[in-house]
Structure 1
Amino acid sequence: MLIHKEVKDRELYVYMNGKLIYKRWLDTGASKVFDVMAYDKNTLVSIKDLQQQREKRELIAVSVLLKLKATADGGRRTGILSGYRPDHVFEYPENDGRLEAFMGDITWYDGLAIEPGEEKVVTVRFFFRPQIEQYLSIGRKWQIHEGPVCIGEAEIIDFI
């Protein structure tokens, strides 16, 4: 069985033996299964495939608009430099209050720090984990944390 995944024109396609079985529109997060039987059969293979990808440490990179909170609003007292690795929190569960945070690094190339209260277009890279895929779509916003403290917000502009 041959599994092939590709992204083109902001759409993810999954093929099995050359036949399209799944499509996801990355801009909206909507998806469609074209061959239910093949997709169901492929589930265990996909899980193994995802484990192999995680072992290879594949990255997902997105271009985002990063907005840091001002110090007076509870943000940092100092700016951040390219390579900063905070926690990225996409949702807050209502029942038990525990957060699922994803590790991702924030980079840019002009060499200047981003100061509290400023915003900038940057690149955020995440290690690929199956749980994060559901949160990645154009326009999606999330909070940037240092431990339990929210220091900013990010919004996906594009996929890299």
Structure 2
Amino acid sequence: MSNLIKSMELDEKNHERLRQIIAGVLRDNMYSILLGLDGSAQIGGHQELYKLTDEQGNELTGGEIEASAWEYFHNESYDQHNSKADFIAELTFLSSEDGGRKTSARSGYRPQVKFEFDDMQTSGEQTYIDRDWVFPGDSVTASIRIIAVEHFQNKLTDGLTFEFREASTVIGTGKILHILNPKLKR
């Protein structure tokens, strides 16, 4: 498979898009298999209810598998459980034409984060979920780790919007989807 992808001679942006497509297809297929095990979808033309248990031996039935699978595969829980992130956010990078970055950003990028309710800015490390690179104009889900946790203690909520910047230049906006660090929750 690797040689086939190399033979396509994709540029960096299209190589990243192909990786995202493959990751999405695999994630969706794993989710469908788990739905089939819960009796909510067919596997190989058959729809049956299987008896499944979690790691503690508790039986998972009645939609619990579907809910757990959705959380795990679509809400990025598989990346969050080992994360040191403070929150998960949907980020939208401005296009180059709208004043955004001229080049792509790699996962681990650390722009300044600015919340509307406060003049304080803090460094916010962005770890992109399901991809390594983001291009101007792209939207992506990311885990964010901020430096000024104590300053923003008890001040953040799910749904809160923010800007991310390079110096005074706004290069994108974000919306908190889920706060992971309980110290930050208002």
Instruction: Tell me the TM-score normalised to structure 2 length.
Output: 0.48
Structure 1 residue 67, shift from structure 2 partner: 0.3
Question: Which fold has the larger relative contact order, with Cα–Cα distance below 8 Å and residues 6 or more apart in sequence?
Answer: 1
Contact 1:60 1:128 in 2 (8 A): no
2:120 pairs with 77, 80, 100, which one?
A: 100
Q: Which runs of 5+ in 1 are unaligned?
A: 1-58, 94-98
Contact 1:60–1:127, Cα closer than 8 Å, also in 2: no
Aligned to 1:147: 167
Q: What is the alpha-carbon distance in structure 2 between the residues aligned to residue 109 and residue 102 of structure 1?
A: 21
> Contact between 2:129 and 2:140, CA under 8 Å: does it hold in 1?
no
Shift of 1:109: 4.6
Letter of the 2:169 counterpart: V
Distance 1:82 1:128 in 2: 20
Which structure features the higher share of helix residues? Answer: 2
Instruction: Show the counterpart of 1:87.
Output: 112
* Root-mean-square deviation over aligned CA pairs: 2.0
- Distance in 2, matches of 1:102 and 1:67, equals 18
Structure 2 partner of 1:122: 142
Which stretches in structure 2 are left out of the alignment for 5+ residues? 1-83, 181-186
Aligned length: 97
- State the one-letter code of the partner of 1:121: T
Aligned-pair distance for 1:122?
A: 0.7
Identical amino acids, percent of aligned pairs: 26
**2:151 counterpart SS class:** helix
Q: More strand by proportion, 1 or 2?
A: 1
Q: CA deviation at 1:129?
A: 3.0
**TM value normalised by structure 1:** 0.55
CA distance in 1, matches of 2:117, 2:96: 23
